[in-house]
Amino acid sequence: MDAASALADLTEISSQVEAAVVLDDAGAVVASTFDDAERSARLARAALDLLDAAGRRVGPGGRSLTQLEAALREGSVFVASEEGRSIVATTGPDPTSGLVFYDLKTCLRSLAQPPEQSKPGRPKRTTKTKVSEVGDVDA
């Protein structure tokens, strides 16, 4: 499944995700729910900075973060990584963290599966969110 389709599925099934960006293994934006490439790049940079700072706190020893939540008064920022890809998403205040992480990881796994196996397991919402492909953006 392509990244734009995976994000479209994510925003369709997850009522808590307000915006999301998929990053490749180098941290470049692959797809985004934003129409603006600069907003996509800013969110990607923020996610990479959060992972870097949290990784330094975890310390050496070969351990790497696979998920991270930064809770703010206005909402939360979630980052999940799997198989060389990462996804960063924003939510409103007080999200159901476990459910958001489940949805983000399902989105990432759908990118690694053949198209016929990439349908998420949760029922879809009826409202649609516009998802746009983003070209190479320096993050």
DSSP string, 19-87: EEEEE-TTS-EEEES-S-HHHHHHHHHHHHHHHHHHHHHH-SSS---SEEEEE-SS-EEEEEEETTEEE
* Domain hosting residue 57, numbered range: 3-113+129-133
Distance CA 121, CA 133 (A): 24
At 98 the pLDDT is: 96
Q: Is residue 120 assigned to a domain?
A: no
At 85 the pLDDT is: 92
At 123 the pLDDT is: 52
Q: Is residue 139 assigned to a domain?
A: no
Distance CA 100, CA 114 (A): 23
Q: Is residue 42 assigned to a domain?
A: yes
Q: Is residue 119 assigned to a domain?
A: no
At 132 the pLDDT is: 46
Q: Is residue 138 assigned to a domain?
A: no
Residue 23, amino acid: L
Distance CA 14, CA 96 (A): 11
At 122 the pLDDT is: 55
At 83 the pLDDT is: 86
Q: Is residue 122 assigned to a domain?
A: no
When divided into structural domains, the chain yields a total of 1
What tens-digit pLDDT sequence spans the chain (139 residues)?
899 999 999 999 999 999 999 999 999 999 999 999 999 999 999 999 998 888 877 766 656 788 999 999 999 999 999 988 999 999 999 999 999 999 999 999 999 876 665 455 555 444 444 444 444 444 4
Query: Tokens representing 39?
Result: 């907003």
Q: Is residue 49 assigned to a domain?
A: yes
pTM here is 0.78
Q: Is residue 26 assigned to a domain?
A: yes
Residue 22's CATH number:
3.30.450.30
At 1 the pLDDT is: 86
Residues 6+ apart with CB under 8 A from 69: 76, 77, 78, 79, 97, 100, 101
